[in-house]
Amino acid sequence: MSRQGPEDFVPRSYEVRHRTTYTYSGDVTTCYERGFLRPRETPSQRVVGNEVRISPEPHLVSEHTDHFGNRSFYVEVRSPHQVLEVTKTSVVHVDWPEVDLDALDRWTVGSAAAEVARTGDPVAVSDHLLPSPLVEVDDAVRAYAALHLAPERPLGEALVGLTHAIFGDFDYRPGTTNVRTTLQELLEERRGVCQDFTHLALGCLRAAGLPGRYVSGYLETAPPPGKEKLEGADASHAWASVLVPGGSWVDLDPTNDHLADSRYVVTAWGRDFRDVSPLKGVIYTESTSSTLDVGVDVTRLPEL
């Protein structure tokens, strides 16, 4: 990942293609799926277009807005099949502002937490401050948070410091954790992926009294120098967002050691990964095995 510079905040447009393929060893007679198949509108993002293709042809597709404002799709396929493929192709315009860290530093972590508690939307504050299934705030998490989010520390400095600390203290190791990995296991093993590092950041923020939400989306990546970008080689991404005085949210990415910029595309947000899983469901089958293949392409477009 390249370092962050002013050019990363220049507005731009992307086409995001996310293909999920389930292959089963036998017939699936019925499946019921729910997922976030449309990016959400945000202050930093405008959805220009969104197309969803499902094979085999579903018997029912419905869409609604969930508790957090995400666009959630429900899908039923009631014909026998051994392959289910869901592809979403979205076009978005992205324009993230640079965060004014000096303004944030007028608050301390402690005074910011008190101000957010006093003036913040009570639902948003409670949703993202209380423990959630994958973010258990225990003594180990509180101890790690205390190293970086001391009440007297300037807020902007503390948020950057927490982001940098997680980046430096933990190794990025795909395949070493899963969706059930706890923060306690992460703190012991010191390795994981973006989902794990985001959960730890949220645990620390909540331990300090700062509401934090889990953000799911995508990040534009570049191939190694001299190499072509391979089709499907991108991946979904996750990062944390913290509610600060004044009602705005600041997005920080401990996996890459910087705040979010215009390379980031938002799909959904919630309390932790379970609230924003890209696709999950129930199937009826006598199949004894299955495989999952995911391909993601984030392609920058000419300016819209």
* Residue-wise pLDDT tens digits, 146-177: 999 999 999 999 999 999 999 999 999 999 99
* Element holding 145 (H helix, E strand): helix 139-148
pTM of the model: 0.95
My answer on whether 114 and 208 are in the same domain is yes
Taking only the tens place, the pLDDT of each residue in 287-301 is: 999 999 999 999 999
Q: Would you state the structure tokens that stand for residue 152, as one six-digit string?
A: 């007297």
My answer on whether 260 and 141 are in the same domain is yes
My answer on whether 188 and 222 are in the same domain is yes
Q: Which domain holds residue 50?
A: 6-94+277-301
Q: Which residue has the tokens 């391909």?
A: 295
My answer on whether 77 and 110 are in the same domain is no
Region 114-131 average pLDDT: 96
My answer on whether 202 and 253 are in the same domain is yes
My answer on whether 146 and 257 are in the same domain is yes
Would you state the pLDDT for residue 224? 72
Confidence of residue 4 (pLDDT cuts 50, 70, 90): confident
Would you state the pLDDT for residue 233? 62
Residue 278 carries which DSSP code?
S
My answer on whether 151 and 228 are in the same domain is yes
β-sheet bridge partners, residue 93 = 13, 46
Would you state the pLDDT for residue 231? 67
Q: Is residue 196 part of a domain?
A: yes
Looking up residue 161, the CATH number of its domain turns out to be 3.10.620.30
Confidence of residue 83 (pLDDT cuts 50, 70, 90): very high
Would you state the pLDDT for residue 1? 45
Q: Is residue 1 part of a domain?
A: no
Contacts of 109 (CB under 8 A, 6+ apart): 149, 150, 151, 152, 153, 154, 155, 158, 208, 209, 210
